[in-house]
Structure 1
């Protein structure tokens, strides 16, 4: 199982960050508005904000660390996206809904590089679905730790496991994410995660809902059972929706998952770096359009 976890941990995406022209002084070189980076699937976009600001600092028309009247957020294809989801989860939720990861001239090239294209923008008001990007250097760390407190409670019935970590262990835990230290991450996350949890921390997104709030977090009880995804079909799909599960593909960590997969096995192998298992529902017709 650790081999699968490490493959997921080492997974990366090509991300192209474009900067809104309003950020830059007049006459700035056009190439300053584009940044190409390799990003782990298991991280947050805002962990790269210092790199972005450093890249364009000599051409900025304002000081982002002292800007109090503007909000910053990321968009993809004109839609706000949530930085508080792992980069890989964002990608999984968008890749099947449109073909904007390659330019028209690149689509038919055999060796074309696929980029997750995001746009950093600012405005006087914030879209309702996103958390503002702050200048605080530990914003991501605080959010991530809060996620793990939720996960610990869902798994164990209390948050004692993570709250009892020493200060050094807590620092080591977050540092393992930043430095990509799989050994340290596994060592500490295993202290929090029981082999037989009471409930499974799961978040479900439909690819079309990533920017519109259509995210569900069902409570899946594990006491004495190990249900398959098929067994929890009603929890996967909203009770208000009449949907044929056979028309949908389940994607976790960029991989298509069979409906007969045991949920606990899926969680232990495919959970994300914040402790949650993210699954994305993708209509098969969308998959066919993008991957003929």
Structure 2
């Protein structure tokens, strides 16, 4: 096991854990025995394995949001893979398939899947490669189409949002960006709907405790991760 002590580079905040693992593995091979060199590498924070399909910035919010600390200390492992917690991911093709599946799910929620279904394969490739290679303009040229409203009511059909408790349990429900009277729904109204017994719940993303009067449509357009989901932590 190897400790990592470092600040989090800005470009990594939005990436999935597995991106960083693939980039780091070659560096750490010099420190491990040859018999473990082909083993799948994984990371943990304070004994908690980090799931590779989550954005790094979200995981930092989840585990360090109550007590932010930099550099973030992680441990690298090449043995004792926690199969009951983390799915195996031997190559980047699996990461790409998972990412594209999540983007398509978000598009179904927002646009009934109409945006992704009209894109060509080259558009999907550009979206993926722009993210993988940290080329924002390349990525945003495609992703901006997923962030636009395509209906007369000036809003998404539903908001792609996942809310996580401290233990990592995920709560995902159908959430409309509008109230029954057509007014824009704000964060506090969503909290009241999802947590009627906890009206004082606060939510955090990107290191920010969100104002409860923030419109959900605005949050989805401006605070979603590259997978097009809002990843919010209870706090």
- TM superposition score normalised by structure 2: 0.83
CA deviation profile, 1:57-111 (whole Å, cap 9, x unmatched): 23432466744xxx65321111122221111111111113456x3xxxxxxxxxx
Structure 2 gap segments, 5+ residues each? 150-154
Query: 2:143 — aligned with what?
Result: 189
Change (3 A) 1:236 1:253: farther
Structure 1 or 2: more strand by fraction: 1
Are the aligned partners of 2:21 and 2:41 in contact in 1 as well (CA < 8 Å)?
no
Structure 1 gap segments, 5+ residues each? 1-19, 22-32, 102-113, 283-292
CA-CA distance at 1:128 after TM superposition: 3.0
SS of equivalent to 1:230: helix
d(CA) in 1 for partners of 2:35, 2:103: 33
1:61 aligns with 2:30: no
d(CA) in 2 for partners of 1:261, 1:163: 31
Query: 1:278 — aligned with what?
Result: 231
Query: 1:266 — aligned with what?
Result: 219
Residues 64-83 of structure 1: pairs in structure 2 closer than 5 A:
66-67=38-39, 72-83=41-52
Pairing partner for 1:174 from 116, 128, 150: 128
Query: 2:152 — aligned with what?
Result: none
SS of equivalent to 2:43: strand
1:226 aligns with 2:175: no
- TM superposition score normalised by structure 1: 0.68
SS of equivalent to 2:90: coil
Query: 1:120 — aligned with what?
Result: 76
CA-CA distance at 1:145 after TM superposition: 0.6
CA-CA distance at 1:166 after TM superposition: 1.8
Change (3 A) 1:58 1:124: closer
Are the aligned partners of 2:15 and 2:56 in contact in 1 as well (CA < 8 Å)?
yes
1:199 aligns with 2:177: no
Pairing partner for 2:22 from 50, 59, 63: 50
Change (3 A) 1:65 1:200: farther
Change (3 A) 1:225 1:218: farther
Are the aligned partners of 1:75 and 1:118 in contact in 2 as well (CA < 8 Å)?
yes
Change (3 A) 1:125 1:235: farther
Are the aligned partners of 1:218 and 1:235 in contact in 2 as well (CA < 8 Å)?
no
Change (3 A) 1:96 1:252: closer
